Amino acid sequence: MSSSKKLENFLKKSKNEQKEAQIKKTECISCPDCGFNLYEGGKSLTLCICYGEDWNKNIKIQKSETAIKMQFPKNIDPENIEMLLNTLKNMNKE
């Protein structure tokens, strides 16, 4: 499947389902697979080797009283965005 087709499919799915993740201000977030610290309370997440070609990319975080906004690099793989959001959602269930 081509990259443009993957992105098209991702955008179609994202219109149908709203994705959210809660990050506590003082919380550290580690990758469940390799243990790398993805987030250490700053204003960005840094991806680990588990994200393949997107390794070491920074994701900017804006926090407000009512929401958390994440800004992803333009060329990041949509499947990696989904994997990261699932990691953030699942950390609150533990």
Read off the pLDDT of residues 32-91 as tens digits, 9 standing for 90 and up. Answer: 889 998 888 788 889 999 999 999 998 898 888 887 788 888 888 999 988 888 888 777
78 burial level (CB within 10 Å; 0-12, 13-18, 19+): middle
- H or E segment and range at residue 7: helix 3-16
Distance CA 45, CA 15 (A): 24
> DSSP secondary-structure letter at 24?
-
Residue 76 placed within a domain: yes
Residue 8 domain-assigned (yes or no): no
Q: What is the total count of domains within the chain? A: 1
87 vs 14: which has the higher pLDDT? 87
Cβ atoms 80, 73 nearer than 8 A: no
Q: Are 37 and 28 in contact (CB under 8 A)?
A: yes
- The pLDDT confidence band at residue 15, using thresholds 50, 70 and 90, is low
pLDDT score, position 7 = 75
Residue 13 has pLDDT above 80, yes or no: no
Range of the structural domain that residue 72 is part of = 26-91
Evaluate whether residue 17 is within a structural domain.
Answer: no
Give me the pLDDT at residue 27, please.
73
This model's pTM is above 0.85: no
